[in-house]
């Protein structure tokens, strides 16, 4: 006991030193853990930004390919009517105009090429739905616009088959090109209406993919650059501008699903499927 009393101060000093060492070690461990956690968070953030950049580059490549194909189909259709009108004027003046250069099969090829690129873009959305959930509204909007294009194509193509020259099939070069007589004013008026409907539907896709480019920059590149790209401002306020702002996106999705031809067609298909399933279930239940 006397020894403890005699060495109490020294023991207490040693104990404090040990506690200080333990505290210092604990502080170092805590700092290392914090640095490690911060390092992991930084690595995760860098990986997230790198992924966003890769998504943006992929989307831009798809968008450019679709935009080029979309413009090619739209402009080919738009250029047919002036050619037909010029051919009709030349023929009415008693001249022998050269056959028109446009062909219905060439227009069909451009149309389906654009449709294929649009389908590829929509499929691409499925790959990035977690990283960029705002893509869902574009999936709905582009499906609605694509439906309008699909509906407007067959009547226009059928009309063009009766107006534009028709070359012989490949391998039958000996056969002459079929040249149709100039269309009547009624047929020409119908062609103009069909062309305008088709071009309007295709142009709507062009507007939506422009909106997609804007939203992709604002959502995927905001961590790399300051500022944002302003949205499209159509002259006609009735035109829809696609936005990924949650409230606006939900309102747009409701509009496309309930008020467009595509949405109503989807609802009719779903109702038919439900009716068939219910009828089959009722039949199986009655047979037991």
**What are the pLDDT digits (tens) for 243-258?**
999 999 999 999 999 9
Both tokens of 194, joined, read 């069909």
Q: How high is the mean pLDDT of the chain?
A: 85
Q: How far apart are CA 66 and CA 59, in angstroms?
A: 10
For residue 225, the model assigns a pLDDT of 72
Residue 30 pLDDT > 80 = no
Secondary structure of residue 166 in the 3-state scheme: strand
Give the residue, 20 or 152, on which the prediction is more confident.
152
Rg (CA), the chain: 33
Rounded to an integer, the average pLDDT of 23-44 is 59
For residue 5, the model assigns a pLDDT of 56
Give the residue, 175 or 196, on which the prediction is more confident.
196
Give the residue, 118 or 46, on which the prediction is more confident.
118
For residue 71, the model assigns a pLDDT of 95
- pTM for the full predicted model: 0.81
Only one residue has tokens 């008020």, namely: 259
Q: What is the DSSP letter of 234?
A: -
Rounded to an integer, the average pLDDT of 153-171 is 91
- Provide CB contacts within 8 A for 197, sequence distance 6+: 152, 156
Residue 89 pLDDT > 90 = no
Q: How far apart are CA 243 and CA 188, in angstroms?
A: 39
First-residue to last-residue Cα distance in the chain: 95
For residue 275, the model assigns a pLDDT of 83
């Amino acid at each position: 006991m006397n020894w403890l009393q005699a060495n109490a101060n020294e023991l207490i000093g040693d104990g404090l030193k040990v506690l200080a060492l333990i505290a210092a070690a604990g502080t170092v461990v805590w700092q290392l853990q914090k640095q490690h956690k911060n390092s992991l968070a930084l690595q995760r953030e860098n990986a997230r930004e790198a992924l966003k950049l890769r998504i943006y580059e992929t989307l831009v490549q798809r968008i450019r390919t679709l935009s080029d194909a979309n413009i090619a189909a739209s402009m080919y259709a738009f250029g047919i009517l002036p050619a037909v009108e010029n051919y009709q004027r030349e023929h009415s003046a008693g001249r022998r105009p050269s056959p028109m250069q446009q062909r219905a099969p060439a227009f069909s090829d451009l149309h389906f090429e654009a449709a294929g690129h649009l389908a590829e873009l929509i499929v691409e959305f499925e790959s990035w739905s977690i990283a960029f959930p705002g893509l869902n509204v574009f999936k709905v909007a582009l499906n609605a616009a694509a439906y309008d294009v699909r509906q407007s194509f067959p009547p226009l193509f059928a009309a063009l088959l009766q107006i534009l020259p028709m070359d012989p099939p490949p391998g039958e070069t000996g056969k002459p090109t079929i040249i149709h007589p100039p269309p009547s004013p009624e047929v020409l008026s119908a062609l103009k209406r069909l062309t305008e409907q088709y071009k309007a539907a295709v142009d709507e896709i062009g507007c939506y993919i422009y909106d997609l480019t804007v939203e992709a920059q604002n959502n995927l590149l905001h961590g790399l650059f300051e500022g944002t790209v302003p949205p499209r401002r159509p002259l006609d306020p009735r035109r829809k501008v696609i936005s990924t702002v949650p409230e606006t996106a939900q309102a747009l999705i409701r509009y496309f699903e309930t008020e467009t031809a595509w949405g109503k067609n989807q609802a009719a298909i779903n109702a038919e499927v439900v009716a068939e399933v219910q009828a089959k279930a009722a039949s199986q239940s009655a047979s037991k």
